[in-house]
Amino acid sequence: MTDLVTGDDGLVRPVWASTDPMLRDYYDTEWGMPVRDERGVFERLSLEAFQSGLSWRTILAKRPAFRAAFADFDADVVAGFGEADVARLMADAGIVRNRAKILATITNANATVALRADGGLADFVWSFRPDWTPEPITSADVPTKSDESLALSKALRKRGFAFVGPTTMYALMEALGIVDTHLVGSHRRGTSGVWA
């Protein structure tokens, strides 16, 4: 059995992105495309943290509610969230109501603001781009972490970030296009412009 399927539109995708319209659209248009702005990187960092232990589909379905709840991931606004905001977020059924992850998002907003003095979150995260990207044939070939994601995790923790483990940071690197883990043969392989 192969991990790739050809859709009705003739495009080759991994099984996980082949049937659910929301996942297919995310795969076709967004996942692995370069994101280099602070808000975009902060949003993805936050959503990857919320995803920990859950399916990505769950987070993607809740993304509009997350954006509304967290001021469209404006780091300046989220950094100013206080206990009343935490209570509001804990009562919001549209998002994942995990107090530790909510507090981590506020912590990470403050760390994002502080990081501007040294070039900003986007440049910082992109500075951990490896010299090569995997070329997975099957889903089993896709790494879950790397030396670079471990280094990024440690560096972000030193800067005051939370919920930034090496596996979560590898998922972030995939989402941002820092690595290309689209399966060889997929219509998206090599389309980010980051990797030839």
Catalytic residues: 26, 48, 56
Q: Amino acid identity of 153?
A: S
Distance, CA of 61 to CA of 122 (rounded, Å):
25
Supply the DSSP symbol for 3: S
DSSP state letters, 103-136: HHHHHHHHHHHHHGGGT-HHHHHHTT--SS----
Its sign, for the CA torsion 150, 177, 64, 15, is negative
Distance, CA of 116 to CA of 135 (rounded, Å):
34
**Whose structure tokens read 């795969």?**
27
Distance, CA of 90 to CA of 124 (rounded, Å):
30
Q: Two tokens at 80?
A: 């100013």
Residue 82 to residues 87, 98, 110, 167, Cα–Cα distance (Å): 9, 16, 12, 29
Q: Two tokens at 45?
A: 């960092």
